[in-house]
């Protein structure tokens, strides 16, 4: 069976659903992602979010020690799109360094930050 372009291109993120929450988990180290990949990566994320009305999307960063401006650009782009759809965006498992990046950029004021997936599911279920 021949590979299609979709199947031969590695996914940057894994998307999983737990209850009413869609979790997005990076498939690789965020610090190594490149700006040239931004359009394709953002399209991948926005496509997943577009399939759900008023989605609750939480980026699971539990395996990430650091992320930079590339990933922040993806988050902002996804947040704008999800907000227009009536949904919410949050983060979980953010490292102390990641938390500092969010605080310095004031992005921690835009999104809910949960210690874990379980706490994200619990908080969103009780909205």
Per the listing, tokens 């996804």 go with 78
Task: List the one residue out of 13, 82, 88 whose CA is nearest residue 44.
Answer: 13
What's this model's pTM, rounded to 2 decimal places? 0.82
Strand pairing partners for 17?
A: 22
What gap in Å lies between CA 30 and CA 21, rounded to an integer?
Answer: 22
Greater confidence, 13 or 64? 64
Give pLDDT, residue 67. 86
Instruction: Convert 31-46 to b/e letters by CB count within 10 Å (16 or more is b).
Output: eebeeeeeeebbebbb
Answer yes or no: is pLDDT of 46 > 90.
no
What is the length of the chain? 127
In three-state secondary structure terms, 6 is helix
SS (H, E, C) 72-109: HHHHHHHHHHHHHCCCEEEEECCCHHHHHHHHHCCHHH
Give the DSSP letter of residue 68: -
Instruction: Tell me how crowded residue 98 is: count the other CB atoms within 10 A of its CB.
Output: 20
Q: Which domains does the chain have, with CATH numbers?
A: 11-125 (3.30.750.24)
61-111: pLDDT as tens digits: 999 988 888 889 889 988 998 898 889 999 999 999 999 999 999 999 999
């Amino acid at each position: 069976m021949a590979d299609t372009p979709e199947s031969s291109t590695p996914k940057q993120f894994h998307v999983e659903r737990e209850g009413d929450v869609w979790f997005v988990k990076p498939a690789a180290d965020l610090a190594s992602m490149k700006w040239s990949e931004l359009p394709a990566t953002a399209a991948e994320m926005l496509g997943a979010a577009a399939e759900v009305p008023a989605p609750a999307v939480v980026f699971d960063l539990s395996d990430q020690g650091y992320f930079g401006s590339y990933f922040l650009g993806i988050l902002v782009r996804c947040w704008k799109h999800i907000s227009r759809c009536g949904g919410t965006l949050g983060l979980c498992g953010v490292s102390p360094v990641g938390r500092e990046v969010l605080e310095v950029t004031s992005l921690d004021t835009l999104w809910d930050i949960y210690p874990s997936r379980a706490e994200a599911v619990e908080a969103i279920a009780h909205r």
